[in-house]
Structure 1
Amino acid sequence: MDSAQITISIILLCTVLLFLWGRWRHDMVAAAALLACVFAGLVPAESAFEGISHPAVISVACVLILSKGLQSSGAVDVLTRWLLPANAGPTLSIAALTALGAFLSAFMNNVGALALLMPVAMQMAKRQNIATGKVLMPLSFGTILGGMTTLIGTPPNLIVSGFRKANGDGNFNMFDFTPVGLTVAVVGVAFVALIGWRIVPGRKQASGDSFDSGAYITEARVPPGCKAEGMTLHDIEQALSEADAQVLGLVRNEIRVTPPSPRRRTRAGDILMLEAEAETLASAISSLGLKLEEAKSTREEREKEEKEKEKEKEKAKQAKEKATESQPAKAKEHSDAEVAKTSEESPEKEEVSHEHDEVILSELVVLPNSGLLGRTAAGIQIRTSFGVNLLAISRQGNRSVKRLRAQPFRAGDLLMIQGGPEAISEFASSTGCVPLAERELRIPNKRMAIMATVIMALSVAVAALGILPTAVAFAAGVLVSMIVRTVPPRAVYNAVDWPVIILLGALIPVAQAMETTGTAGLIANFLLHQLAQGNAIIALVLVLIVTMNLSDLMNNAATAAVMCPIAIGTANQLGVSVDPFLMAVAVGASCAFLTPIGHQNNTLILGPGGFKFGDYWRLGLPLDLLVILVTIPMLLWVWPL
């Protein structure tokens, strides 16, 4: 080995050890490795940051943004209600949920897919009376498996495609990963859903990971033509039982009916007073097509409201003019003077304008010294004064059938507030409230959900058909999403997982340095001659196993970036096609099933599932063995050596 090879080997070894140590974030370690290569002269200084502009990095960022559009529009929530069985046993329910997670992960970020379905999984576990972890771990593994089925399903696939192009063979197409990836995903999901969930440790959920805010009381209006219109309250109660929600009262024509008769039928414009947990509030409302009474955040609704106000003002002005015309001149002058005086002394209170591209939901607690104590939402004009909506109130498990706007606030009340981040922050600081948590409440917007789905589908189609390069196709999709506001411009940069982007951008030049110095070839030569004894199939199995083991210990994108040069070097020394070896890296990098640190999805379920570090291998080890048994024959068939 020459000095350059020794230096890059030391940098690579230190990088892997720092990844395993976990004291520094992955992007920090990757940046340190890149700078070390620059200082050592292994990467030219002028080329140090070219990795950021790599098509794979751009594609990852764009897919994350488009996934945000599917998430925030409620498109996934609608799909969940359509596809998941309402009344089924644990095996069928887990199978359907895991399969849905795998499907979503093929076209959106798999971390986002898991985050969307986690509340559904926790409700399912409660309904089936089984440990939460027995649903969460299959779902996590299913979303990981689903990512390997398409080019955009997971960052490692995009990285592998980039290395193939750099090798002179061009990019992989959108569905080149599908024959092998889909087969592995189907077999893996079937095993996890039918057998695997039974061997997952059934531990109690870790305490302190979240807080119980109790049930909220909120108001939902019955819009014309919605599913709830014409239903009896008894039927509505039955429909809401899946979301653990119930009807407390009904308001019709501003008259409260409490308790309402179960046989009473709803009409358009009725307001239902509902009690539901924060996590199930969205599904309780959207399942019947109801609309939160105080939630008016869309641009169209604001414009309509402003137009109606203008019409009212115009009518009032015309009526005033007619009245003054019939008065004597002197009286008219006096009247005009009085009006002017009144206008000067009591100017109309202007409505506070809080135009926000991003609307969030925040949970606030009312402090003992809050200025809200004893006052009501109507009294403080919460919407006009602060630009926020009061959606629900939770009061230590005590029910109240008063209208939300008429309920006096008390110390300790939990308020669910909707609005822009700045507006909510201003409301909290002005009134003496403390934010507890930001909640995800996605009431599906049909128009936005359709547009977000169409934009994602068109982006995938354009990339798959080769009309535009993948990065360009998805960048165009992001631009359209910003224009039509399925992803508000304000929220675009928040949708990107920047540590992953920096990690990829930093490691790509490091991986290229491994190749240019010949280090990758040396490692490949060791694998080939010392372990595989010159056998291409054994070498392919080794590449797959080494990648799988590395992925259990370090970020999967970093694993792919490190292993791709080794895979290419191994194939070149054997004189065989690089494609099966690169596909082995793609599959192996997506098989982080043995530890909670190998993939973000495994980390996400650690607390909610009450898992310990060693719990993952019980299901992960047999799944790894199954993946190897399925992958090698499929690789040899679809991508012959």
Structure 2
Amino acid sequence: MNRELLWVLSLLLIAILLFSNNKLRMDVVALLVIIAFVLSGTLTLSDALVGFSDPNVILIAALFVIGEGLVRTGVAYQVGEWLIRVAGNSEIKMLVLLMLTVAALGAFMSSTGVVAIFIPVVLSVSAKMKTSPGRLMMPLSFAGLISGMMTLVATPPNMVVSSELMRDGNHGFGFFSVTPIGIVLLLLGIAYMLVARFWLSGVDPLAANKEGWKRKTFRDLIRDYKLTGRARRLAILPGSPFIGHRLDDLRLRQRYGANVVGIERWRKFRRVMVSVAGNTELRLNDVLLIDMSASEVDLREFCASQRLEPMVLRGEYFSEQARDVGMAEVSLIPDSELIGKTLYDVGFRSRYGLSVVGIRRNGEAMDGLLADEPLQLGDILLVIGDWRMIRQLQSQKHVMLVLNLPAEVDDVAPAVSQAPHALFCLALMVAMMLTDEIPNAIAALIACLLMGKFRCIDMESAYRAIHWPSLILIVGMMPFALALQQTGGVTLIVNGLMDIAGGAGPQVMLVCLFVLCATIGLFISNTATAVLMAPIAIAAAKQMGVSPYPFAMIVAIAASAAFMTPVSSPVNTLVLGPGGYRFGDFVKVGVPFTVLVMIVSVIMVPWLYGF
């Protein structure tokens, strides 16, 4: 082993350790890898930055935008509502339809996004059927993972492996190359989960809506969090000491127990609700929407001393303001940085542009000054503010999960009337990809531009929809594959595999590759696993003198088979809290299913592609 290879392997080990302990963000680690390769002279600058010119990076970014277009036009939510209507009270029917629907949507959207959308659906159905959400949450996450095996564009590992095939001088995978295997594994997963659900009693940590399957409205949320009678509308009069001061400077929460959750301001001859942040400066004639639940001051004296005028606050106020102000229930993920901290400590309103007006703990709404209450795992927060900020909150999946958007969200979907156009753009993209005449990245870009043309999505939302850490992770891991090839690391690993399984035939080699991929995937993301393993698999096929396609396909499938732990994939982490699971639940259910996936894949892949 030469010194350069030892350095590359050491750097790889360091990266895996950093990925595992979550001390640094994965995209930061990826950028540090690029810097280390260049400064050490292992790779040239152009080689280290080769990922930025990879077409698949553009394709993955475009697919994030397509998925956001389906959400903004209400397509994804309507599918969830349809699922509730069709499944009725049948848990079996719900499980089957849920897994089929999630796999179908996940074939064209981010599986993480699809699972996030369907978590509230599962909670509603569980409440209706009076059963634990734990019996459906894991089937939901498994279906999200299996969706990555449905089409070429379903998950980044598929595109990474296909790109590596083309880089080696072969044809890449077709759009539906992986679909036959995905369909079989989906049916196997449904059958498996119909039995495994009995192992998943779980605990209902979310105290689902007692009214059952109906999606909550503003009125329901106000009732559930005991907000009735707590809010006041106060207009700022001339001479008020509030005028010209920022909310943070006024310290209303600390001085009076008053939490400003919204501001009505005159714009173009009408009052509109504007976003509230710590640096928001108050103006004459602003109308403050204030939560006074934790206040012990006399309202009349407070208004007189601060030059404020009480205004009427009708019961339908929030529903009438639904186009300008939104509500949502959010839950902290298990390793959220917010756990143990107070809302004041983290500066929640300044950080996220939203106000927390309610907390439910163990199913009960909390009273008192919420800002000073340390947050606990399992807490459900009710946030209020601009819909745009709530949408942005959906991208904070490393901190919290948006569980429930009220029914009013359909009325304010930015492009709900453009749903047919969004479906047309999706169908056109798939059709272009199937022709093999138009590169996949170009087909996706055309679909994105058409979605913009049809106003399914605007430019700001498109850029915000892209999960930049995922793209940077891919870009940062690609130099590893190149460095391993240039320093002889790929040859060393392939020789090791040949020593172990080379004499037993290519099918045993497929088993070894699957096990190696699944093991690496326990510590790093499936995308990074595919980047590392694809060149090794292709090199192994060359050394054995067989077709590279079965070897590349087994890597793509194994990279998506992240069923074994709650941290193997983001979709598993998302359902951990809502399902009331423990780490061992995923091991108990996921390990046997991973073995089944391996057996089916090792049988089917050679049959479909041949050695």
Corresponding residue number in structure 2 for 1:71: 71
- The percent identity for this pair of structures is 29
Distance 1:484 1:32, change over 3 A: same
| Cα offset, 1:610, TM superposition | 2.1
What's 2:499 paired with? 529
Question: The residue matched to 1:596 in structure 2 has which SS?
Answer: coil
- Report how far residue 5 of structure 1 moved: 2.0
Which amino acid counterpart does residue 503 of structure 2 have in structure 1? Q
**Matched AA of 2:405:** E
Aligned to 1:169: 170
User: How big is the shift at 1:122?
Assistant: 0.9
CA–CA distance in structure 1, aligned partners of residues 320 and 183 of structure 2: 52
> In structure 2, what is the equivalent of residue 10 of structure 1?
10
1:36 aligned residue? 36
1:539/1:383 Cα in 2 relative to 1: closer, same or farther (>3 Å)? closer
Aligned pair partner of 1:621 in 591, 603, 606? 591
Measured at CA, do residues 41 and 118 of structure 1 come closer, stay the same or move farther in structure 2, by a change above 3 Å?
Answer: same
Partner residue in 1 for 2:379:
none
CA–CA separation in structure 1 for the residues paired with 2:541 and 2:96 = 38
What is the count of residue pairs matched by the alignment? 487
The amino acid of 1:527's aligned partner reads L
When normalised by structure 2's length, the TM-score is 0.71
Indicate conservation of the 8 Å contact 2:127/2:212, yes or no. Answer: no
Contact 1:592–1:599 (CA under 8 A) maintained in structure 2: yes
Deviations 1:418-474 (A, max 9, x none): 55559x9xxxxxxxxxxx989635416653211111111211211121232111111
- Offset at 1:638? 0.4
Q: Judging changes above 3 Å, is the alpha-carbon distance between structure 1 residues 199 and 2 closer, same or farther for their aligned structure 2 residues?
A: same
Name which of 546, 553, 558 aligns with 2:523.
553
- Provide the C-alpha distance between the structure 2 equivalents of 1:396 and 1:28, rounded to a whole number of angstroms: 34
Q: Distance in 1 between matches of 2:222 and 2:274?
A: 26
The worse-fitting range, judged by mean Cα deviation, of 35-44 and 145-154 is 35-44
Q: 1:11 to 1:475 in 2, by over 3 A?
A: same
The residue aligned with 2:117 is: 116
TM alignment of 1:429-578, pairs within 5 A: 440-441=405-406, 442-443=409-410, 447-533=417-503, 535-578=505-548
Query: How does 1:209-248 map onto structure 2 within 5 Å?
Result: 242-243=213-214
- CA, structure 1 residues 481+166, in 2 after alignment: closer, same or farther (shift >3 Å)? same
Query: Which amino acid letter does the alignment assign opposite residue 456 of structure 2?
Result: T
- Is the contact made by 1:352 and 1:387 (CA closer than 8 Å) also made in structure 2? no
- Residues 39 and 454 from structure 1, CA distance in 2 versus in 1: closer, same or farther, beyond 3 angstroms? same
Once the two structures are TM-superposed, the CA of residue 31 in structure 1 deviates from its matched residue by 1.9
2:327 and 2:405 in contact (8 A); partners too = no
Are the structure 2 counterparts of residues 96 and 504 from structure 1 closer, same or farther at C-alpha, using a change threshold of 3 Å? same
Structure 1: distance between partners of 2:531 and 2:219: 50
Q: Kindly indicate whether residue 121 of structure 2 is the aligned counterpart of residue 150 of structure 1.
A: no
Deviation of the 1:17 alpha carbon: 2.5
Q: Distance in 2 between matches of 1:19 and 1:419?
A: 33
What's the secondary structure of 2:14's corresponding residue? helix
Decide whether the 8 Å contact of 2:291 with 2:357 is kept in 1.
no
Deviation at 1:128, TM superposition (A): 2.0
Counterpart-to-counterpart distance in 2, 1:390 and 1:567: 49
Task: Please show how residues 202-601 of structure 1 align to structure 2 within 5 Å.
Answer: 202-205=202-205, 242-243=213-214, 275-277=219-221, 350-351=269-270, 366-367=291-292, 368=295, 374-376=310-312, 388=324, 421=389, 440-441=405-406, 442-443=409-410, 447-533=417-503, 535-601=505-571
Alignment deviations for residues 196-227 of structure 1 (CA, whole Å, 9 cap, x no partner): 2112252342xxxx8x8999xxxxxxxxxxxx
**Code of the aligned partner of 2:6:** I
Q: 1 CA distance for matches of 2:587 and 2:327?
A: 43
CA contact (8 A) 1:544 1:588 kept: yes
Kept in 1, the 8 Å contact 2:274–2:386? The answer is no
Q: Which amino acid aligns with 1:243?
A: K
Q: In 2 relative to 1, CA 437–8 (structure 1 residues): closer, same or farther, beyond 3 Å?
A: closer
Aligned with 2:579 (options 609, 617, 620): 609
Report the Cα offset of residue 478 of structure 1.
1.5
Q: Residue 89 of structure 1: CA displacement?
A: 2.2
Partner residue of 2:232? Answer: none
Aligned to 1:198: 198
Post-superposition CA distance 1:470-502 (Å, at most 9, x none): 111111211222232212211112111111110
Q: Residue 47 of structure 1: CA displacement?
A: 3.3
For residues 44 and 190 of structure 1, the distance between their equivalents in structure 2, rounded to whole angstroms, comes to: 50
Q: What is the RMSD computed on CA atoms of the aligned residues?
A: 3.9
8 Å Cα contact 1:243/1:276 also seen in 2: no
Kindly state the Cα deviation for residue 3 of structure 1 after the two structures are TM-superposed. Answer: 2.4
Q: Which digits, 9 at most, give the CA deviation of each residue in 1:26-47, with x for residues without a partner?
A: 2222222222222222221133
2:220 is paired with a residue whose SS is strand
1:388 maps to amino acid: D
CA contact 1:547–1:563 (8 Å) conserved in 2:
yes
- Runs of at least 5 residues in structure 1 that lack an aligned partner in the other structure: 216-239, 247-273, 281-346, 357-363, 398-410, 425-435
What CA distance in whole angstroms lies between the structure 2 residues aligned with 1:25 and 1:455?
34
User: For the Cα contact (< 8 Å) 1:174–1:464, is it kept in 2?
Assistant: yes
Asked if the contact 1:534–1:574 (Cα under 8 Å) also holds between the matched residues in 2, the reply is no
Is the 1:162–1:171 contact (alpha carbons within 8 Å) kept by the matching residues of 2?
yes
1:134-169 CA distance string (max 9 Å, x none): 211110011111111101111111111111111111
Structure 2 counterpart of 1:366, which letter?
A: D
The answer for the alignment partner of 2:90 in structure 1 is: 89
Q: Are the structure 2 counterparts of residues 185 and 419 from structure 1 closer, same or farther at C-alpha, using a change threshold of 3 Å?
A: closer
**What is the distance in 2 between the residues matched to 1:121 and 1:138?**
10
Give me the whole-angstrom Cα distance separating, in 2, the residues matched to 1:69 and 1:279.
32
Shift of 1:353: 8.0
In terms of Rg, which structure is larger? 1
Structure 1 length as normaliser, TM-score? 0.68
Which amino acid counterpart does residue 124 of structure 2 have in structure 1?
A: Q
SS of the equivalent of 2:568 reads coil
- Report Cα offsets for 1:91-110 as digits up to 9, x if no partner: 22112112211111111110
Q: CA deviation at 1:187?
A: 1.4
**Amino acid corresponding to residue 14 of structure 1 in structure 2:** I
Gaps of 5+ in 2: 225-265, 276-288, 329-355, 360-368, 371-381, 393-400
Match of 1:61 in 2: 61
- Select between 72-81 and 150-159 the one with higher mean Cα deviation: 72-81
AA aligned to 1:351 is: R
